[in-house]
Amino acid sequence: MNPFVARIIPLILSFFLGFALKQLKLLSKDDAPVLLRFVLAVCLPALMILSIYRVDLVPDMLLIPLCAMLVVFIIFGVSTLAGSRMKMPRATYGSFLVGTLIMNTAYSLPFYKAAFGDEGLARASLFDIGNTILIFTFSYYNAIKYGDKAQTDKIQWGKFLKLPPLYAMVAAFAIKSLDAQIPELGINFLELIGAPTGPVVMIALGLTFAPKLSHLGKACVAVFIRMGIGLLAGWLLALLFGLQGVTRNVVIVCAALPVGFNTLIFANLEDLDREFAATMVSISILIALFYIPLLIHWVG
């Protein structure tokens, strides 16, 4: 069996395991946010420190978070134009817009770890940081703008500044810049803590899988913008900046990631169209389950 396929299949099976656990009522979709928060607070920071510690830093890595932000602004222009022509209710339009802006970067991390090891994970994590900056600023602002629970129009900087992966990345770059060494005990601990990232993320996504037939056409338009137009935007940015190798792969593929899980969180927080948000997330995850691994392999 192709080594890439052999590493990817267990991740896909983890997704279906999550879906099966929900059907058997051993876990529920309400458990998914807990699992994802655990990954965000514990597993992912450990993996990010190890990945950055183990790779050689090169100048083009600085372009990765910038490209992530540029993709969001390109998609915003496309989604605003498309959404204005579909005449959706305000709450549905808010979910539509926010869903297209948020890339599910957590989804990509296990695949990049499997495909390229620490080299891929470090670069995908940098894309995640650029995406996360705009999730808790620009994207969340738009959720507030179109929601019914808006109490303020201020950007929620505090939520971004509380993210553990941000501090893990700062710590990792500090260790690299000081040419410090992490002792073997520390390496073993970080490997142990970071190991569940892949299966836990995929199980959580399986728990959230719940497509609805309502607004199916509009949801498919949103998914096409997020994943299709996103792919085009990533490819153009990679061409513009002359990116090569794994960095090029990360920018192109991550720009085409499915609708992010934070779309559901923001829809609940700000009283957007929750059912429409869940449909977008579910459809895009189902497509991405096979589309993203193939795209990583194809882009090379």
Contacts of residue 105, defined as CB under 8 A and 6 or more positions apart, other chains included, come to 68, 124, 127, 128, 131, 132, 254, 257, 260
Contacts of residue 24, defined as CB under 8 A and 6 or more positions apart, other chains included, come to none
**Better-predicted residue by pLDDT, 229 or 283:** 229
Asked if residue 221 belongs to a domain, the reply is yes
Q: Which two tokens stand for residue 200?
A: 């836990």
| Domain count across the chain | 1
**Closest C-alpha to 98, from 65, 152, 154, 136:** 136
Residues 98-129: tens digit of each pLDDT: 999 999 887 787 888 888 888 888 888 889 88
Asked if residue 227 belongs to a domain, the reply is yes
Asked if residue 184 belongs to a domain, the reply is yes
Please give the residue range of the domain that contains residue 34: 30-299
Greatest Cα pair distance in the chain: 59
Identify whether the C-beta of residue 251 lies closer than 8 Å to the C-beta of residue 243: yes
Residues 70-107: tens digit of each pLDDT: 999 999 999 999 988 988 888 899 999 999 999 988 77
Asked if residue 4 belongs to a domain, the reply is no
Q: What pLDDT does residue 4 have?
A: 59
Asked if residue 201 belongs to a domain, the reply is yes
Which domain CATH number covers 248? 1.20.1530.20
Total Cβ atoms within 10 A of residue 20? 14
Asked if residue 10 belongs to a domain, the reply is no
Asked if residue 20 belongs to a domain, the reply is no
Distances (CA, A) of 56 to 59, 118, 238: 10, 10, 20
Asked if residue 16 belongs to a domain, the reply is no
Residues 147-175: tens digit of each pLDDT: 765 555 555 566 556 668 778 878 888 88
